[in-house]
Amino acid sequence: MSVLKRSPQEQAALRRAKRTLDQLDFYPKPVNIDHVRILHVPWLFTLPWFKRFHGYEMGPLILLKRPVQDNSPGLIAHELCHVWQDQDHRLSMWWSYVRGGYAENPHEIEARRAAAAAS
């Protein structure tokens, strides 16, 4: 069994966001943060596709433009909500972005609700 090497700030941010999501009834099973990591990767957000984002979810990874402690609890909850969606229904989640785009995507609307609940 491998142990994730999370910083105290990363652990605190994940626990706080999980507490927020645990109060929401979006999916039958609660979000599992056992294998979730938050990584600060500022170079990624210099690339054309990513410039408009402050955070991005890729499966169990939450990628951030700024160090974890410099982000709002709402942003972490938003991205963790995407992790939760991915855990619950990966294929249909990703397909919804191909089919319906970003701004009015139901998964984005749901993640925005999670962010608002964290504020």
Contact between 42 and 18 under an 8 Å Cβ cutoff? The reply is: no
Return mean pLDDT, the chain: 94
Check pLDDT > 50 for residue 1: no
For the chain, which residues make up each domain, given as ranges?
Answer: 8-118
Are β-strands 37-40 and 61-64 bridged in parallel, bridged antiparallel, or unpaired? parallel
Contact between 3 and 64 under an 8 Å Cβ cutoff? The reply is: no
Cα separation, 30 vs 21, in Å, equals 8
pLDDT for the residue numbered 106: 94
99 versus 76: the higher-pLDDT residue is: 76
Per residue in 34-60, pLDDT (tens digit) is 999 999 999 999 999 999 999 999 999
Cβ burial, residue 15 (10 Å; 0-12/13-18/19+): exposed
When pLDDT is cut at 50, 70 and 90, the band that residue 101 belongs to is confident
